[in-house]
Amino acid sequence: MTSDTAGSHQLSTQQLLKVAQTAESAGDMDRALGFYRGLGEIEPRNPRWAFEAVRVLRKSDRNEEAREALSAALRKWPRASSNPALTRLVPELNPSEAQLRSALREDMPDDSALKRPVIEDDGSSDCIVARGGRKEAVLVFTGLADRMTMPLPLFDRYLAELDLSAVYLRDTKRIGYFNGVASLADDYDGTIVRLKELLVDLGAMAVHTIGNSAGGMAAVSYGLDLHARTVLGFSAPVALTREAADLDRRTAVFAERILGPGVPPERRDLRARALKSRGVTRIHLYYGKDMPEDRFHASAMEEVPCVTLHPIEGLAGHGALFRIAENRGLRRLFAETFAKADA
C-alpha cells in the first residue's frame, strides 16, 4: 500500500472511491491505481476493485500488467463475464459477436461451410435441439455463465459445419446437472432417460459430450452414463471432493451444494466411475497449464486409462476452450474428434 493509501482504512469506501476517481480525472493514474488496489485490500470479496485496477492499467497503456491483473482476477472470479457491472469496466470480458468473430478469424466457420441451420437462443431455454444429417449427436453442457465462453449460436457453427445433431443444455438448478435438467425431468436418472429418448428421435447411433467449466463435470458424468464415444471437457472442475472445494474457492457456494446431501457421493466420484468404465468412453480434458485450480482438478484424473490430459502452455486463466479457438485450433479439434464414420 502506498503512502497515499496507508491511511485508507480511516476513510469510508465511498470516500476512497471519490479520491480514486478524482486522481484519475486529474490524470494521476498511479495514484488512482493505488487507491483501487487499497479498496481491494479493504473489501477483498468485492470484485469491482480488481477490475477497476485492470481498467486503469489498460487506460495507462500498461497492457502486460493489465493482462496479468486480469488473469488473476478471473481466477478469483471466473464468472465475471456474466456480471454487467464488471463487463462495463472491462468490455473484453463480454465481447460482442463482431469482436468474437474478429478474434477467432478463420477458425469460425462461415455461412458457406454450414451443413444445417444454426440454433437460435434467447437465453431462456435449458434445452435446445438442433437436428443434423448424421447419425451422431453431441450433448453440450454449458457452464455457470450459460454459454460456451461464446454465445451458443456462435459455438453451434462449429457443429453445424460437421452436420452433427446437437443438444444444448443449461443447469438452471445450479448443482452441476446432478439433479438433472429442469425441463427434461425432475432428477438425474429421469434426465438420462429423456436424453436417451432424444438421441433415438435424432437417429443418433453414437453420442459425444462437450462441457465447458462447470459443464465439464456434467459432460464427464453424463458421458459415462450414456456410454458416449468421446467426452471433451474444457477447464472442467472434475475433482468433486472436500480437498478440492477447500483449495478452489472460486465458486464456493456451488461447490458446497455439490458436496451436500443432494448429490450421491458415488455419483460425484468421477475418477472411480471412469476407472470402472473399461474405456468405453474416451475422456479428453483441456486446461491451462499455468492455472493452478484447473490443473489440480485435471490431476485428479491422472493415470485413468480412458482419460487424456491436454495442458495448454502459457494459459494461466480459465478459458481453455476460447484459447484453443483463438489459436485456430477448435475447428480442427472438432473435425478430428467427430470425423465422419457413419456414412
Work out the pLDDT band at 9, boundaries 50, 70, 90. low
* Digit-coded pLDDT (tens) for 158-170: 999 999 999 999 9
Same domain, 238 and 125: yes
Q: Tell me the backbone φ, ψ of residue 212, rounded to 5 degrees.
A: -115, 135
325 occurs within a structural domain: yes
3 occurs within a structural domain: no
Q: What is the pLDDT of residue 4?
A: 57
* Digit-coded pLDDT (tens) for 293-312: 999 999 999 999 999 999 99
342 occurs within a structural domain: no
Same domain, 128 and 82: no
The CATH number linked to 158 is 3.40.50.1820
Average pLDDT of the residues in 282-302: 94
Beta bridge partners, 231, equal 209, 283
* Whether the predicted pLDDT of 343 surpasses 80: no
Same domain, 142 and 81: no
Torsion, Cα 94 66 41 14, to 10 degrees, reads: -60
Q: Indicate the residue among 93, 112, 145 that finishes a domain.
A: 93
* Whether the predicted pLDDT of 6 surpasses 60: no
- H helix intervals, the chain: 13-25, 29-42, 48-59, 63-76, 84-89, 97-104, 152-160, 188-201, 214-225, 242-247, 252-259, 265-268, 270-276, 292-299, 320-326, 330-337
Same domain, 305 and 322: yes
Q: What is the pLDDT of residue 341?
A: 58
Average pLDDT of the residues in 26-49: 94
Q: Indicate the residue among 63, 93, 123 that finishes a domain.
A: 93
Same domain, 88 and 117: no
* Whether the predicted pLDDT of 38 surpasses 60: yes
Q: Indicate the residue among 93, 114, 133 that finishes a domain.
A: 93
Q: How many angstroms separate the CA atoms of 146 and 334, rounded?
A: 21
* Digit-coded pLDDT (tens) for 80-92: 877 888 988 987 7
Same domain, 23 and 65: yes
pTM of the complete model beyond 0.75:
yes
Domain membership of residue 72 as a residue range: 8-93
Same domain, 126 and 31: no
The CATH number linked to 65 is 1.25.40.10
